[in-house]
Amino acid sequence: MANSFLFNEKQFRVGDTIAVNYKIKEGDKERLQLFSGILIKIKGSSPETRMITVRKISRSGTGIERIIPLSSPYIESITLSKKSHSTKAKLYFIRKLSSQDLKSKLYQTKKKAVHKSKPKEAKKNEPLPKKNG
pLDDT tens for 23-69 read 999 889 999 999 999 899 888 888 788 898 998 888 887 888 999 99
Residue 62: give its domain's CATH number.
Answer: 2.30.30.790
54 within some domain? yes
3-state secondary structure of 98: coil
14 lies in a domain?
yes
Q: Characterise 52 by phi-psi region: left (phi > 0), alpha (psi -120 to 50), beta (else).
A: beta
Q: What is the DSSP letter of 121?
A: P
* Residue 18: inside a domain: yes
Alpha-carbon distance of 34 to 22, in angstroms, equals 6
Total domains in the fold of the chain? 1
pLDDT at 114: 61
pLDDT digits (tens, 9 = 90+) for 93-122: 888 877 777 777 777 666 655 666 666 665
